[in-house]
Amino acid sequence: MSATIAVLPGDYIGPEIMQAGLAVLKAAAAATNFDYQLKTYPFGGAAIDATGEPLPAATLKGAQAADAILLAAIGGPKWDNATQRPEAGLLAIRKALGLFANIRPTQVLPALVPRSPLKADIVSGTDFVIVRELTSGIYFGEPRELAADHAIDTMVYQASEIERILRAGFELAQTRRNHVTVVDKANVLATSKLWRQIAAQVATDYPTVTVDYEYVDAAAMKIVQQPTHFDVIITENLFGDILSDEAATITGSLGTIPSESRGISGPSLYEPIHGSAPDIAGTGKADPLSMINSIMLMLRNSFQANATADRIAQAVAVTLAAGIMTPDLGGTATTKSMTKAIIEQITTKEAMY
Ligand SMILES: NC(=O)C1=CN([C@@H]2O[C@H](COP(=O)(O)OP(=O)(O)OC[C@H]3O[C@@H](n4cnc5c(N)ncnc54)[C@H](O)[C@@H]3O)[C@@H](O)[C@H]2O)C=CC1
Ligand SMILES: CC(C)CC(=O)C(=O)O
Ligand SMILES: [Mg+2]
């Protein structure tokens, strides 16, 4: 049966990297007989322009009905002062689909070690995953208020929300190196104190997993000082948002890192961890790898289409090893020429698969 994929291109570089990712998917699917159909919906700023809403009802309905959702990126200066912001649509789709677990891998590919801002001996071998709580915490808490003389944001966590994200992280650790780091600010925040209590209880169900605790400020330091220390980091929404951009940067570029957001059931949403990069939109400098890597993650986790994903992974590795990369990684390729090179690798008969 054909897989249905909801496609949300979004804003600024969003449509550019989505077009690149879908071209790579098309080539790999043809080479490996992966059968799929795409349904494209307006989302974010593009949807505000078209319908007045960042998440139109038809887009949500299409996303709910799909087997998986691909999102590029939304937002940008065009809507910064609008009554409705694109970012509200992003938070709304995550909440509406119950996508509470955001999985953000941080892996340094050998070809990219020299592109990292860190020294090779520190960054080599880095391979960890940030499991970020995505549908609660300060991005959703009430009360929230913006007045001329004060502003309020509220960080709220229910015990059940903490427990389910911790369990998702521990289960992931069991498939990896059995090491969890719970990142919080338990020396100050009540929500973090509750995280630690629940983490200690949950840990007893996973006796093979080693657990350690880090305050978020110290964890931010350790990510650049000793990134190989980490296997699975579990943390709340805001801390995960910040740490995952930092972690992405040590791999060479924010422009390569994908993510999966999953719920208890229903389709997962796959997206780059970065935003719409308005500063480079239209210049051909956008790195398509974050979108291509998101598509690979979708193929593996939602469709078990490992042969199709492997075909893309191999083509990307050969392309990078040949020094073909976009300016964020120090290269001179454009979004289009990089994508073309990857597609050539996928379709070439000589490639070693
Ligand atoms: N999931 C989403 O759709 C997200 C949306 N945003 C929104 O995106 C807009 C821009 O936010 P920024 O703070 O500028 O963050 P950003 O992540 O869009 O860009 C940060 C820096 O990384 C670079 N960059 C990002 N992706 C890249 C790629 N694929 N290739 C090469 N370079 C890349 C950009 O050029 C920029 O210098 C804002 O409206 C923000 O709210 C931000 C984060 C996530
Ligand atoms: C609107 C923001 C929460 C988006 C973001 O920065 C992210 O998902 O990483
Ligand atoms: Mg972010």
Residue by residue, pLDDT tens for the chain (353 residues) are: 799 999 999 999 999 999 999 999 999 999 999 999 999 999 999 999 999 999 999 999 999 999 999 999 999 999 999 889 999 999 999 999 999 999 999 999 888 899 999 999 999 999 999 999 999 999 999 999 999 999 999 999 999 999 999 999 999 999 999 999 999 999 999 999 999 999 999 999 999 999 999 999 999 999 999 999 999 999 999 999 999 999 999 999 999 999 999 999 999 999 999 999 999 999 999 999 999 999 999 999 999 999 999 999 999 999 999 999 999 999 999 999 999 999 999 998 544 54
State how far the Cα of 225 lies from the Cα of 87, in Å rounded to an integer: 32
ipTM: 0.99
The pair of three-digit structure tokens given for residue 265, joined into one six-digit string: 């059931």
106-140-10 Cα angle (round to 5): 60
Q: Say which residues have a Cβ less than 8 Å from residue 31's Cβ, sequence separation at least 6.
A: 308, 311, 346, 347
Query: Whose atoms come closest to the Cα of 10: which ligand?
Result: 1
State how far the Cα of 341 lies from the Cα of 208, in Å rounded to an integer: 43
Q: What is the DSSP letter of 135?
A: S
- DSSP-derived 3-state class of residue 262: strand
List the catalytic residue out of 184, 231, 241, 287. 241
Active site residue 222: no
State how far the Cα of 313 lies from the Cα of 30, in Å rounded to an integer: 15
CATH 2.70.98.60: does it fit domain 1-97+266-353? no
Tokens 């801390």 sit on residue: 239
pLDDT for res 111: 85
C-alpha distances in Å from residue 334, one per residue of 295, 339, 345: 20, 8, 17
C-alpha distances in Å from residue 44, one per residue of 34, 104, 131, 270: 29, 22, 24, 16
In the CATH scheme, what architecture does the domain 104-252 have?
A: 3-Layer(aba) Sandwich (3.40)
Which residue spans of the chain are classified as CATH 3.40.718.10? 1-97+266-353, 104-252
List the catalytic residue out of 245, 310, 336, 340. 245
Q: Which of 259, 213, 211 is nearest to 90 (CA)?
A: 259
- Order of all β-strands in the sheet with 258-262: 36-40, 3-10, 68-73, 268-272, 258-262, 101-107, 127-133, 232-235, 179-184, 210-215
pTM of the model: 0.97
Report which ligand 1 atom has the smallest distance to the Cα of 10: 3
Active site residue 95: no
pLDDT for res 41: 98
Q: How far is Cα of residue 36 from the mean position of the Cα atoms in its chain? A: 22
C-alpha distances in Å from residue 66, one per residue of 60, 163, 179, 219, 341: 10, 28, 34, 37, 30
pLDDT for res 349: 52
pLDDT for res 185: 98
Cα 151 to averaged position of ligand 3 atoms, centre (Å): 22
C-alpha distances in Å from residue 321, one per residue of 112, 113, 238, 341: 9, 11, 35, 12
Report which ligand 1 atom has the smallest distance to the Cα of 17: 29
pLDDT for res 109: 87
State how far the Cα of 137 lies from the Cα of 224, in Å rounded to an integer: 26
Cα 272 to averaged position of ligand 1 atoms, centre (Å): 9
CA atoms within 13 A on the CB side of 342: 32
Q: Which of 76, 64, 54, 49 is nearest to 6 (CA)?
A: 64
Q: What is the DSSP letter of 236?
A: -
* 217 marked as binding residue: yes
CB 140 within 8 A of CB 95: yes
Return the H-helix or E-strand segment holding 213.
Answer: strand 210-215
CA atoms within 13 A on the CB side of 219: 26
Cα 184 to averaged position of ligand 1 atoms, centre (Å): 25
